[in-house]
A and B are shown apart, each in its own frame.
Chain A
Amino acid sequence: MTPTDVAGTTIDELLRTADLLLAGHLDASAAARHRGASFALRTALEIAIDRTLEAAIPGLSRTTMRAKLLCLRHYTAPETAVRASALWHHVCLGCHYHQYEMGPTHAQVNAWRHEIAAVAGRLAPRSL
């Protein structure tokens, strides 16, 4: 797996997509827009994590997310790894219906969006 996916999608593109969905230009329920944005954000975070791991040990990004998050501690600042891990778990909650759980709120997704931009930024310099 490369840092960008098969369609060549970038972190910035995903963040912009999340912004568009959060801005409300879509005739879907708020829950769907927030959930859709969560998907885009989670992918952006996963790309940032994969990029870090791939730069360290090629092929490491092909394992489970749980393993990736554990490995991440060794290839970036521990604090950043903890933030990335916590963030990923949170965004996952936003992606699942989780037994009829109501979707995430605008504020929640918006917070994730900024945290992901920050964490992606912290992950990037180390990998370069």
Chain B
Amino acid sequence: MATPQDPAEQPASAQPTPVAEVVAARLARATLAEPVRTLLQEALDVAERPPTSATGRIRLDSVHVAGYRGIGVRAHLKLTPGDGVNLVVGRNGSGKTSLAEGIETAFTGTNTRWQRADRNRREVWRNLHGAAAPSIEVKLAIGGDSGRSTLTRTWPGDTFEESISELRRPGHGRTSADDAPWARALSDYRPFLSYSDLGEVTSGRPTQLYDTVNIVLGLGYLSAVDSHLQAQESQLNGASKRVRDEVPGLLDALFELPDEDRALRAATALEAKVPNLAELEHLLSALPTADDDRQAELRLVAQLRGPDPGRVADAASRLAAAIGAVERVRTTDAEEARQRADLLAQALAHRARHSGAQACPVCGTDQVLTDEWAARAAEQEAALRREGAAAETARRDLRVAEQELRVLVQEPAQVPPALADMWQAWIACRAIADLGVLVEQAVPAARAVAEASAAASREAAAELAARDERWRPLYERLADWTGRARAVEAGRQQLAWLRKARAWLGGVTTNLKAQRMADFGDDAQRIWEHLRQESNVSLKKVHLKGAERASVRKLVMDVSIDGADASALSVMSQGEQYSLALALFLARANAADSPFGFLVIDDPVQSMDASKVDGLARVLHELGQRRQVVVFTHDSRLQRAFRSQGLGTTFLEVERGESSTVRIRAVSDPVQQALADARALASTQSLPPAARTHVLPGLCRAVLENAFTEAAWVRNYRSGGDEHALQAALTDADRFNKLAALALFGDIGRTADLARELAAVCGGWHAVDIVRQCQDGAHVGGASIPDPHRFVDQVADVAEKVRRRPVAGA
């Protein structure tokens, strides 16, 4: 029963564009300096993207629940993962809420009902029949993915909070649901709504409402982008401030080094209105090498080393001893002694060759080379040889000792002027020819020069250290400061660019926020218009009051009652408040940056009156153009509202059997459903005759009843009739004829004209007979139906013609 839609019912705004894309597009169009653009681009890239960018839109493909709450054996809900409304109908306790909660639990590991429940009532979450281990499996269709993803949740123990989740996504492997790309969006764009959520919206604090709506506007991404820019800006500002603040301290330290020429120059450079960084850098580069005389002299003196007085004294005493030894052999001519010893040795050898000849072979005197002589001569030869050797040794030792002492006299490369005389005296020792004088003078000269040099060196080293101690840390401080000051100067341009970037972003944010808030407000307003129906409260404007971090921020809903301004929540009835909450929630579900292409709503109609239910059906249908809407309801009014207004939906029915066996099946439409049931009965052989005479006509009457009821609603909707009146009339139509009159004429009183109209609509009077047989058969008389199949076919024909009539008549 597709009926053309009123153009006014069409969605006012198309799918809004995710904020990241909007900003990227605006940036591309903006006239900005290239560095500013680069800064913005970097910040846009760095900031955490809104969830839509992370993944395509998520839709539900199917839900399997087992062993959870009202569901025992695995129940299976198959959905079409596309846009559109899926209405899952089931009576209270049929397990539909367990299904709705199951979806939420699969995603979040918990559900709002559980969180709000009293501790004592939290025990029961497993199915009491315990036929299956609790598990929930949701198959997801994620935009852009090649296959379905599977989200499962199981419980290893008895604690509800301790569940294990797994997300299997093609091309992404297995992860926990907590790591799913939409994990954060679950709280921002909660795609689950239960009746109690609506209560929360109306009873929540104003700041909560503000935050909820603010998140929905999707500008959190822009705040994050701005935070990045702001962080850079405050870093640069902070560095600049610190550099400025450190100048007085540095100056004080520099003035404490009055003997330092460079300290004074540095202070002058620092004190300038704009510190002379170039001068400071020059000073700092020159600092490490000694460039003043005093510093050079100090380093020289510090390195000065005199002779070792101990070694000089040793050498001198060895030389003195050698001199004494030489003095003792001074009269000995060592060569003379050796030759005389040789002569005596030859004479002794001659005497030995001539076997005791006593005549001298030189002078010929006989009887002189006696044995006595020989003994004396041998003795003398040995003495002569000893004497010569000793003289030779003493002389050699003297030369060595002299050399040893002289070698100690070393001249340094440079001698400080103050010690020049002392060093001169020491160095002169090298030239003293008289060894005795040398011995005498070397030792005191060495001692004097060594002591003076060591003292001077110590002093110089101490002075150097003192200079370094004050200077080095200051040098480092100054170098550090100069480096940072240079960076600050270089960042000055960057800072200007950053300010420009933030200003641009701020403008875009303000503009987008206003625009999106207006869109959101319009959405809420439009939804409210659908839901309010006869309510005299009209929603004029929805806006955010106060800044994001202000403590007084709130969501303001301006309403008027019969034209007079009022505050929204105070003047509304409970049902109206829920409707308003629903308006806000549905507008939020429509948010551009939500990654959820689906929305699960559990029993949204509870406190609504009939006319609001019609409005809700339209709102849901509208939302269904852009989202997969799954509505669980126990209330057949919503189903009726969809059908009577010709809004296409998928109907699913939840039935609960023995032992928590929950079955879900697609329902075609009530007329087709009743027909299918009638046909099933007609085909059953084993049933007693009473089933054919008393049950079949009843089921066939139900077919007609459905057809007439639908026709009555459609007629009423088309003609803009009052829904309350029709509702009342239908309740009043206690007899079948009255219902038929409402359907065919829109007038409960025209039962007399029924037969003729029915014959006209169905093209023959047989239709009147068939309707009468259905009526009779439902009561004591029963109906005589020879051919059940043919009868059902005829009923189907009548029903179809009744249903088509409004279209033909329109």
Contact = CB atoms under 8 A, between A and B. Distances in A.
A67 interface: no
Given A28-B677, A43-B782, A102-B636, A9 B693 contact: yes
Interface in B632-686: 636-637, 639-640, 643, 653, 655, 657, 665, 670, 673-674, 676-678, 680-681, 683-684, 686
Contact of B89 (A20, A26, A42, A102): A102
A105 B643 contact: no
Nearest to A102: B91
A96 interface: yes
A39 to B, nearest CB: 3
Contacts of B781: 1, 5-6
A25 B709 CA distance: 30
Contacts of A50: 780
Interface in A18-53: 20-21, 25-33, 35-40, 42-43, 46-47, 50
B165 interface: no
Nearest to B634: A102
Contacts of A7: 689-690, 693, 782, 784
B680 A28 contact: yes
B778 interface: yes
B380 to A, nearest CB: 157
B688 A16 contact: yes
Contacts of B702: 35, 95-97
B215 interface: no
A100 B639 contact: yes
A17 interface: yes
A30 B656 CA distance: 10
Given A95-B778, A97-B709, A100-B636, A32 B677 contact: yes
A13 to B, nearest CB: 5
Contacts of B780: 1, 5, 43, 46-47, 50, 61
A102 B706 CA distance: 12
Contact of A36 (B643, B670, B681, B730): B681
Contact-residue bracket for chain B: 35 or more
Max chain A C-beta neighbours (<10 A), residue from B673, B730, B778 = B778
A14 interface: yes
Given A5-B780, A40-B695, A32 B674 contact: yes
B689 A9 contact: yes
Contacts of B697: 39
A79 interface: no
Interface string A90-120: 0000011101111001100000000000000
B359 to A, nearest CB: 172
Interface string B437-457: 000000000000000000000
Nearest to B777: A39
A95 B698 contact: yes
A100 B640 contact: yes
A30 B639 CA distance: 19
B14 interface: no
Nearest to B90: A102
Interface string B770-784: 000000001111101
Nearest to B658: A106
Contacts of B593: none
B782 A9 contact: yes
B25 interface: no
A26 B705 contact: no
A39 B655 CA distance: 21
Nearest to B778: A39
B670 A100 contact: yes
A36 B709 CA distance: 20
Nearest to A61: B780
B691 A17 contact: yes
A72 B127 CA distance: 47
A97 B90 CA distance: 15
Contacts of A28: 676-677, 680-681
A7 B630 CA distance: 48
Interface string B287-329: 0000000000000000000000000000000000000000000
Given A17-B690, A46-B780, A39 B698 contact: yes
A106 B657 CA distance: 9
Interface in B687-729: 687-691, 693-695, 697-699, 702, 705-706, 709
Nearest to A15: B690
A25 B694 contact: no
A70 to B, nearest CB: 15
Interface string A1-13: 1000111010001
Contacts of A95: 698, 702, 778
Contacts of A39: 694-695, 697-699, 778
Interface string B60-102: 0000000000000000000000000000011100000000000
B483 to A, nearest CB: 80
B694 A43 contact: yes
Nearest to A51: B780
A26 B686 CA distance: 9
B709 A5 contact: no
Max chain B C-beta neighbours (<10 A), residue from A6, A14, A96, A99 = A99
Contact of B705 (A5, A29, A96, A106): A96
Contacts of B784: 6-7
Contacts of A46: 779-780
Contact of A101 (B90, B636, B674, B684): B636
B730 A20 contact: no
Given A6-B781, A36-B677, A25 B686 contact: yes
B691 A21 contact: yes
Nearest to A11: B690
A62 B506 CA distance: 84
A17 B636 contact: no
Contact of A99 (B674, B686, B730): B730
B15 to A, nearest CB: 32
A17 B681 contact: no
A62 to B, nearest CB: 10
Contact of A32 (B91, B680, B686, B689): B680
Given A17-B690, A25-B686, A99-B730, 8 more contacts: A26-B680, A31-B677, A32-B673, A39-B694, A40-B690, A43-B780, A100-B637, A101-B636
21 contacts: A1-B781, A5-B694, A5-B780, A5-B782, A9-B694, A17-B688, A20-B686, A21-B695, A29-B673, A36-B677, A37-B695, A38-B698, A39-B699, A43-B694, A46-B779, A96-B702, A99-B709, A99-B730, A100-B636, A100-B643, A100-B706
Cβ-closest 10 pairs across A and B: A32-B677, A39-B698, A28-B680, A100-B636, A28-B677, A36-B695, A46-B780, A100-B640, A43-B694, A9-B690
Interface of A: 1, 5-7, 9, 13-14, 16-17, 20-21, 25-33, 35-40, 42-43, 46-47, 50, 61, 95-97, 99-102, 105-106
